[in-house]
Amino acid sequence: MTSLPTQPTARKLGLVIDLDICVGCHACAVNCKEWNSGGHSAPLTDLDPYGPDPWGVWFNRIHSFEAGGPEDSAGGCTVHFPRSCLHCENAACVTVCPTGASYKRAEDGIVLVNADTCIGCKLCSWACPYGAREYDQDQGVMKKCTLCIDRIYNENLDDVDRVPACVATCPVGARHFGDLGDAASDVSKLVAERGGYDLMPELGYKPVNKYLPPRPRRAGAEAPLDPADDDLSGAGPLVRWLDRLLSR
Protein backbone atom coordinates (compact mmCIF):
# COMPACT_ATOMS: atom_id res chain seq x y z
CA MET A 1 0.00 0.00 0.00
CA THR A 2 1.05 3.61 -0.49
CA SER A 3 2.31 5.77 2.34
CA LEU A 4 1.44 9.38 3.02
CA PRO A 5 4.24 11.92 3.58
CA THR A 6 5.98 11.11 6.86
CA GLN A 7 5.35 14.63 8.14
CA PRO A 8 2.20 16.72 7.55
CA THR A 9 2.86 19.04 4.64
CA ALA A 10 3.58 22.61 5.72
CA ARG A 11 2.17 23.98 2.47
CA LYS A 12 -1.42 22.97 1.87
CA LEU A 13 -2.73 24.25 -1.43
CA GLY A 14 -6.49 24.03 -1.70
CA LEU A 15 -9.82 25.67 -2.36
CA VAL A 16 -12.26 27.62 -0.24
CA ILE A 17 -15.79 27.53 -1.63
CA ASP A 18 -18.40 30.06 -0.57
CA LEU A 19 -21.79 28.35 -0.46
CA ASP A 20 -23.44 31.68 0.28
CA ILE A 21 -22.82 33.09 -3.19
CA CYS A 22 -22.44 30.03 -5.43
CA VAL A 23 -25.27 30.25 -7.97
CA GLY A 24 -24.92 26.74 -9.38
CA CYS A 25 -24.08 27.94 -12.89
CA HIS A 26 -21.66 25.02 -13.53
CA ALA A 27 -19.06 27.37 -15.05
CA CYS A 28 -16.39 25.84 -12.80
CA ALA A 29 -17.22 22.34 -13.99
CA VAL A 30 -17.29 23.33 -17.66
CA ASN A 31 -14.02 25.27 -17.56
CA CYS A 32 -12.38 22.46 -15.58
CA LYS A 33 -13.50 20.02 -18.26
CA GLU A 34 -12.17 22.22 -21.06
CA TRP A 35 -8.81 22.95 -19.42
CA ASN A 36 -8.23 19.30 -18.59
CA SER A 37 -8.92 18.16 -22.12
CA GLY A 38 -5.14 18.60 -22.37
CA GLY A 39 -2.42 18.50 -19.74
CA HIS A 40 -1.74 16.36 -16.69
CA SER A 41 -4.73 14.02 -16.65
CA ALA A 42 -6.00 14.43 -20.19
CA PRO A 43 -8.06 13.50 -21.96
CA LEU A 44 -11.29 13.38 -19.97
CA THR A 45 -13.29 10.75 -21.80
CA ASP A 46 -16.82 11.40 -23.06
CA LEU A 47 -18.88 8.55 -24.43
CA ASP A 48 -22.07 9.17 -26.42
CA PRO A 49 -22.27 12.77 -25.10
CA TYR A 50 -25.33 13.64 -27.22
CA GLY A 51 -27.03 10.27 -27.11
CA PRO A 52 -29.63 8.76 -24.79
CA ASP A 53 -27.04 7.41 -22.32
CA PRO A 54 -24.14 9.90 -22.07
CA TRP A 55 -21.18 9.18 -19.80
CA GLY A 56 -18.06 11.14 -19.07
CA VAL A 57 -15.29 12.03 -16.62
CA TRP A 58 -15.74 15.25 -14.63
CA PHE A 59 -13.46 16.56 -11.90
CA ASN A 60 -16.05 19.07 -10.64
CA ARG A 61 -19.70 18.30 -10.04
CA ILE A 62 -22.35 20.63 -8.60
CA HIS A 63 -25.31 19.44 -6.54
CA SER A 64 -28.26 21.55 -5.50
CA PHE A 65 -30.23 21.09 -2.28
CA GLU A 66 -33.27 22.68 -0.71
CA ALA A 67 -32.30 23.87 2.77
CA GLY A 68 -34.59 24.99 5.57
CA GLY A 69 -38.34 24.93 5.37
CA PRO A 70 -41.60 26.60 6.42
CA GLU A 71 -40.58 26.42 10.08
CA ASP A 72 -37.65 28.78 9.42
CA SER A 73 -38.35 32.46 9.96
CA ALA A 74 -36.81 33.29 6.59
CA GLY A 75 -38.21 30.29 4.71
CA GLY A 76 -36.26 27.74 2.72
CA CYS A 77 -33.53 28.37 0.19
CA THR A 78 -31.54 26.52 -2.46
CA VAL A 79 -27.89 25.77 -1.71
CA HIS A 80 -25.57 24.85 -4.58
CA PHE A 81 -22.79 22.52 -3.46
CA PRO A 82 -19.71 22.13 -5.72
CA ARG A 83 -17.82 18.88 -5.12
CA SER A 84 -14.33 17.83 -6.15
CA CYS A 85 -11.26 16.26 -4.54
CA LEU A 86 -10.56 17.78 -1.12
CA HIS A 87 -6.83 16.82 -1.09
CA CYS A 88 -7.14 15.38 2.41
CA GLU A 89 -4.22 15.43 4.81
CA ASN A 90 -5.05 11.83 5.82
CA ALA A 91 -6.09 10.71 2.35
CA ALA A 92 -7.59 7.22 2.51
CA CYS A 93 -7.53 7.02 -1.28
CA VAL A 94 -3.72 7.07 -1.10
CA THR A 95 -3.21 4.52 1.65
CA VAL A 96 -5.38 1.86 -0.04
CA CYS A 97 -3.64 2.11 -3.43
CA PRO A 98 -1.82 -1.18 -4.10
CA THR A 99 0.55 0.19 -6.76
CA GLY A 100 1.46 3.64 -5.46
CA ALA A 101 -0.43 5.29 -8.32
CA SER A 102 -2.32 7.49 -5.87
CA TYR A 103 0.04 9.70 -3.93
CA LYS A 104 0.19 12.92 -1.93
CA ARG A 105 2.89 15.44 -2.78
CA ALA A 106 5.07 16.43 0.17
CA GLU A 107 5.81 19.88 -1.23
CA ASP A 108 2.24 21.20 -1.46
CA GLY A 109 -0.16 18.50 -0.25
CA ILE A 110 -1.82 17.96 -3.64
CA VAL A 111 -3.15 14.42 -4.17
CA LEU A 112 -2.53 13.04 -7.66
CA VAL A 113 -2.79 9.82 -9.67
CA ASN A 114 -0.02 8.40 -11.83
CA ALA A 115 -1.89 6.92 -14.79
CA ASP A 116 1.17 4.89 -15.80
CA THR A 117 0.97 2.75 -12.66
CA CYS A 118 -2.79 2.84 -12.01
CA ILE A 119 -4.44 -0.54 -12.65
CA GLY A 120 -8.01 0.74 -12.37
CA CYS A 121 -8.88 -1.43 -9.36
CA LYS A 122 -11.14 1.34 -7.99
CA LEU A 123 -10.03 0.82 -4.39
CA CYS A 124 -9.39 4.56 -4.10
CA SER A 125 -12.92 5.39 -5.20
CA TRP A 126 -14.34 3.01 -2.60
CA ALA A 127 -12.15 4.54 0.10
CA CYS A 128 -13.04 8.16 -0.74
CA PRO A 129 -16.16 9.17 1.25
CA TYR A 130 -16.58 12.32 -0.85
CA GLY A 131 -17.11 10.62 -4.20
CA ALA A 132 -14.22 12.57 -5.71
CA ARG A 133 -12.64 9.80 -7.80
CA GLU A 134 -13.62 9.26 -11.43
CA TYR A 135 -13.04 6.02 -13.34
CA ASP A 136 -12.13 6.55 -16.97
CA GLN A 137 -13.53 3.36 -18.47
CA ASP A 138 -12.08 4.19 -21.86
CA GLN A 139 -8.51 4.25 -20.50
CA GLY A 140 -9.06 1.92 -17.55
CA VAL A 141 -7.56 4.27 -14.93
CA MET A 142 -8.73 6.49 -12.10
CA LYS A 143 -8.68 10.27 -12.48
CA LYS A 144 -9.33 13.22 -10.20
CA CYS A 145 -8.90 16.94 -9.61
CA THR A 146 -5.25 18.00 -9.82
CA LEU A 147 -5.78 21.58 -8.64
CA CYS A 148 -4.60 22.36 -12.18
CA ILE A 149 -0.91 21.88 -11.36
CA ASP A 150 -0.16 22.63 -15.00
CA ARG A 151 -1.61 26.12 -14.44
CA ILE A 152 -0.55 27.05 -10.92
CA TYR A 153 3.11 26.23 -11.58
CA ASN A 154 3.21 27.52 -15.15
CA GLU A 155 5.66 30.44 -15.14
CA ASN A 156 4.60 31.39 -18.66
CA LEU A 157 1.24 32.54 -17.30
CA ASP A 158 0.58 35.86 -15.59
CA ASP A 159 0.20 35.61 -11.81
CA VAL A 160 -3.52 36.33 -12.04
CA ASP A 161 -3.97 33.25 -14.26
CA ARG A 162 -1.94 30.89 -12.08
CA VAL A 163 -4.98 29.54 -10.26
CA PRO A 164 -7.13 26.46 -10.94
CA ALA A 165 -9.43 26.77 -13.94
CA CYS A 166 -12.51 26.56 -11.73
CA VAL A 167 -11.34 29.57 -9.70
CA ALA A 168 -10.44 31.60 -12.77
CA THR A 169 -13.86 31.17 -14.33
CA CYS A 170 -16.26 31.58 -11.37
CA PRO A 171 -18.44 34.58 -12.33
CA VAL A 172 -19.41 35.45 -8.74
CA GLY A 173 -16.08 34.87 -6.97
CA ALA A 174 -17.38 31.92 -4.94
CA ARG A 175 -14.12 29.97 -5.28
CA HIS A 176 -10.79 30.94 -3.71
CA PHE A 177 -7.36 29.32 -4.01
CA GLY A 178 -4.32 29.52 -1.76
CA ASP A 179 -2.18 28.00 0.95
CA LEU A 180 -4.37 26.78 3.80
CA GLY A 181 -1.28 25.76 5.73
CA ASP A 182 -0.38 29.43 6.16
CA ALA A 183 -2.51 31.10 8.82
CA ALA A 184 -1.66 34.50 7.35
CA SER A 185 -2.83 33.67 3.81
CA ASP A 186 -5.97 35.27 2.39
CA VAL A 187 -7.79 31.95 2.23
CA SER A 188 -6.97 31.07 5.83
CA LYS A 189 -8.18 34.48 7.01
CA LEU A 190 -11.38 34.01 5.02
CA VAL A 191 -12.00 30.64 6.65
CA ALA A 192 -11.42 32.14 10.11
CA GLU A 193 -13.68 35.13 9.49
CA ARG A 194 -16.57 33.19 7.98
CA GLY A 195 -16.44 30.01 10.06
CA GLY A 196 -15.27 27.79 7.23
CA TYR A 197 -15.56 24.09 7.92
CA ASP A 198 -14.39 20.65 6.82
CA LEU A 199 -16.72 18.28 5.04
CA MET A 200 -17.53 15.35 7.35
CA PRO A 201 -14.76 16.11 9.88
CA GLU A 202 -15.81 13.17 12.06
CA LEU A 203 -14.13 10.81 9.57
CA GLY A 204 -10.71 12.17 10.45
CA TYR A 205 -9.42 12.61 6.89
CA LYS A 206 -8.70 16.32 7.46
CA PRO A 207 -9.66 17.70 4.05
CA VAL A 208 -7.65 20.74 2.97
CA ASN A 209 -10.52 22.31 1.01
CA LYS A 210 -12.98 24.28 3.14
CA TYR A 211 -16.57 25.41 2.70
CA LEU A 212 -17.99 28.73 3.84
CA PRO A 213 -21.56 28.33 5.12
CA PRO A 214 -24.52 30.27 3.72
CA ARG A 215 -25.29 33.39 5.74
CA PRO A 216 -28.60 33.43 7.62
CA ARG A 217 -31.35 34.95 5.51
CA ARG A 218 -33.21 37.92 6.86
CA ALA A 219 -36.67 37.17 8.15
CA GLY A 220 -39.32 38.29 5.70
CA ALA A 221 -36.88 38.78 2.85
CA GLU A 222 -39.21 36.95 0.50
CA ALA A 223 -42.45 38.25 2.01
CA PRO A 224 -45.24 39.13 -0.46
CA LEU A 225 -45.27 42.73 -1.56
CA ASP A 226 -47.72 45.02 0.14
CA PRO A 227 -49.31 47.55 -2.25
CA ALA A 228 -49.27 50.11 0.56
CA ASP A 229 -45.49 49.87 1.12
CA ASP A 230 -43.57 53.16 1.44
CA ASP A 231 -44.42 55.87 -1.10
CA LEU A 232 -44.83 53.43 -4.02
CA SER A 233 -48.40 52.38 -3.35
CA GLY A 234 -49.40 53.80 -6.70
CA ALA A 235 -46.56 52.23 -8.61
CA GLY A 236 -46.81 49.06 -10.61
CA PRO A 237 -45.80 45.70 -9.11
CA LEU A 238 -42.53 45.58 -11.06
CA VAL A 239 -41.37 48.95 -9.68
CA ARG A 240 -42.26 47.96 -6.13
CA TRP A 241 -40.49 44.60 -6.53
CA LEU A 242 -37.32 46.35 -7.77
CA ASP A 243 -37.47 48.85 -4.92
CA ARG A 244 -37.69 46.06 -2.35
CA LEU A 245 -34.90 44.11 -4.04
CA LEU A 246 -32.50 47.05 -4.18
CA SER A 247 -33.29 48.08 -0.62
CA ARG A 248 -32.05 44.83 0.92
Q: Are residues 180 and 233 in the same domain?
A: no
Asked whether residue 2 is assigned to any structural domain, the reply reads: no
Q: Are residues 35 and 65 in the same domain?
A: yes
pLDDT greater than 90 at residue 49: no
75 or 80: which leads in pLDDT? 80
pLDDT greater than 80 at residue 72: no
Q: What is the mean pLDDT of residues 135-154?
A: 94
HSE-up of residue 247 (Cα within 13 Å, Cβ side): 10
Asked whether residue 146 is assigned to any structural domain, the reply reads: yes
Asked whether residue 125 is assigned to any structural domain, the reply reads: yes
pLDDT at res. 9:
83
Q: Are residues 153 and 243 in the same domain?
A: no
pLDDT at res. 228:
47
Q: Are residues 75 and 124 in the same domain?
A: yes
pLDDT at res. 66:
85
Q: Are residues 102 and 185 in the same domain?
A: yes
226 or 67: which leads in pLDDT? 67
Q: What is the mean pLDDT of residues 15-36?
A: 95
Closest CA to 177 of 24, 2, 32, 8: 32
pLDDT at res. 42:
80
pLDDT at res. 225:
42
Range of lowest pLDDT (27-41, 60-74, 125-139): 60-74
Q: Are residues 244 and 164 in the same domain?
A: no
- CA distance linking residue 85 with residue 89, whole number of Å: 12
Binned at pLDDT 50, 70 and 90, residue 113 comes out as very high
Tens of pLDDT, residues 76-99: 688 999 999 999 999 999 999 999
Per the structure, the complete domain to which residue 59 belongs is given by 13-212
* Number of structural domains found in the chain: 2
Binned at pLDDT 50, 70 and 90, residue 55 comes out as confident
Q: Could you tell me the CATH number of the domain that includes residue 103? A: 3.30.70.20
Asked whether residue 165 is assigned to any structural domain, the reply reads: yes
Asked whether residue 3 is assigned to any structural domain, the reply reads: no
